[in-house]
């Protein structure tokens, strides 16, 4: 089973020594993110996130299917993550590694279980027909902090996505093409974002944001906090590692709230830019049907 080689003793010792002196290898502060760039695709539901050298591509799709029998009023929502050798030689196609399982679980808890997407609005005919929304997350380049970048990509893809307009008449479902009718956005309730802290030091006294691959390989513990812009925490995952003081964990949530607001601003700006780009010649205002008297 392939796995990443551990860093050498020199690298481990040096990273620890540099952090003791308040230095990071790329010159960032402890609570700084690498440059984030989010670009939305030509077709709806495509998001490309670059976080330094980490690159995540997310694509949302939808199809009509039968709902689960135990939840006849809910649509289906899935997030699929697959790590391929393109991202890192440590990953092997088709065989889930620990990194992949942890990434899937955190995204699942952050987005699906927190109810970010209103699955009731995906129901077309109770017990018979519903939309199934699926987001595929592709890791194109892995330089650490996959969780934060993946969550940002999935949220942007889902908010950018448009599903086809439908109508039901006498039990017959009609799905209109984008040329016939404008597709409609998903019913989005809130935007949770992941913020991952990496802990260093004998007693995990130093907390870093946005660890690179080398920092992730040398850390003694990590904690992922998912929350939205309004300060509501969706999940906290601290899976093993060195114990952390409860007070410092509380401080981490304050830092995470600030970062979640920055993420929210990035997504809002990208969506506004995309809407402006699709409004060719400013004709949307001319076509408006709701006008003042």
Partner 1 sequence: MAVPTQLVLPGDDVDPTELLPPHPAAGTDKKAKSPPPLRLGPGLRLLLPSGQVVPTVSGELVADRRKNLLWVESDGGRYSPTTGDLVIGQVLHTTADNAIVALAPHDAPPLRAVLPVLSFAGATRKNRPDLHAGTLVYARVSLAAKHLDTELECVDPTTGKSEGLGPLVGGMVFPVSLLMARRLLMASAEKAGVAVLAALGEEGLSFETAVGRNGRLWVNSDSTRTVVLVGRAITATDAQNLDVQQQRALVKKLVRSSG
Where on the chain is the footprint of partner 1 (CB under 8 A)?
Answer: 2, 4-14, 17-18, 21, 23-27, 85, 88-90
Whole-number minimum distance, CB 52 to partner 1, in Å?
11
Contact by Cβ (8 Å): 260, 148: no
Using the structure block, give the residue that is written with the tokens 């591509």: 57
Whole-number minimum distance, CB 5 to partner 1, in Å?
4
Whole-number minimum distance, CB 57 to partner 1, in Å?
21
Is the CB of 21 or the CB of 290 nearer to partner 1?
21
Is the CB of 30 or the CB of 188 nearer to partner 1?
30
Is the CB of 3 or the CB of 278 nearer to partner 1?
3
Q: Cβ atoms within 10 A of the Cβ of 36, count?
A: 17
Is the CB of 15 or the CB of 111 nearer to partner 1?
15
| Burial category of 17 from C-beta neighbours within 10 Å (exposed 0-12, middle 13-18, buried 19 and up) | exposed
Whole-number minimum distance, CB 281 to partner 1, in Å?
38
Is the CB of 50 or the CB of 259 nearer to partner 1?
50
Per-residue burial over 78-104, b = 16 or more CB atoms within 10 Å of its CB, e = otherwise: ebebbbeeebbebbeeeeebebbebbb
DSSP strand E in 29-128: where? 36-40, 46-51, 54-65, 76-82, 123-125
Please give the Cα distance from 143 to 7 (Å, whole number): 14
Contact by Cβ (8 Å): 225, 253: yes
| Burial category of 126 from C-beta neighbours within 10 Å (exposed 0-12, middle 13-18, buried 19 and up) | exposed
Whole-number minimum distance, CB 48 to partner 1, in Å?
20
The full 3-state SS of 215-262, as one line of letters, equals: HHHHCCEEEEEEECCCCCEEEEECCCCCCCCHHHHHHHHHHHHHHHHH
Is the CB of 2 or the CB of 127 nearer to partner 1?
2
Whole-number minimum distance, CB 25 to partner 1, in Å?
6
Whole-number minimum distance, CB 26 to partner 1, in Å?
7
State which H helix or E strand residue 286 sits in. Answer: helix 283-286
Is the CB of 24 or the CB of 190 nearer to partner 1?
24
């Amino acid at each position: 089973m392939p796995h990443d080689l551990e860093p050498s003793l020199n690298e481990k010792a040096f990273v620890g020594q540099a952090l003791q002196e308040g230095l990071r290898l790329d010159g960032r502060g402890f609570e700084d993110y690498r440059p984030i760039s989010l670009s939305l695709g030509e077709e709806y539901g495509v998001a490309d996130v670059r976080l330094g050298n980490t690159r995540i591509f997310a694509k949302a799709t939808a199809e009509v299917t039968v709902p689960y029998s135990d939840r006849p009023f809910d649509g289906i929502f899935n997030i699929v993550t697959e790590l391929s050798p393109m991202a890192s030689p440590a990953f092997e196609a088709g065989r889930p590694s620990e990194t992949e399982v942890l990434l899937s679980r955190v995204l699942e808890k952050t987005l699906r279980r927190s109810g970010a997407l209103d699955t009731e609005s995906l129901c077309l005919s109770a017990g018979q027909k519903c939309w199934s929304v699926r987001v595929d997350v592709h890791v194109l380049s892995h330089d650490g902090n996959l969780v934060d970048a993946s969550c940002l990509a999935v949220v942007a893809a889902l908010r950018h996505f448009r599903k086809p307009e439908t109508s039901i008449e006498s039990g017959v479902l009609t799905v209109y093409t984008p040329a016939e009718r404008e597709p409609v956005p998903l019913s989005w309730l809130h935007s949770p974002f992941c913020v991952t802290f990496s802990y260093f030091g004998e007693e995990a006294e130093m907390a870093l944001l946005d660890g690179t691959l080398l920092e992730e390989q040398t850390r003694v513990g990590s904690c992922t906090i998912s929350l939205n812009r309004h300060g509501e925490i969706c999940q906290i995952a601290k899976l093993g590692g060195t114990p952390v003081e409860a007070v410092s964990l509380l401080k981490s949530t304050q830092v995470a709230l600030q970062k979640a607001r920055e993420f929210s601003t990035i997504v809002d700006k990208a969506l506004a830019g995309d809407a402006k780009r699709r409004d060719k010649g400013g004709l949307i205002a001319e076509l408006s049907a709701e006008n003042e008297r």
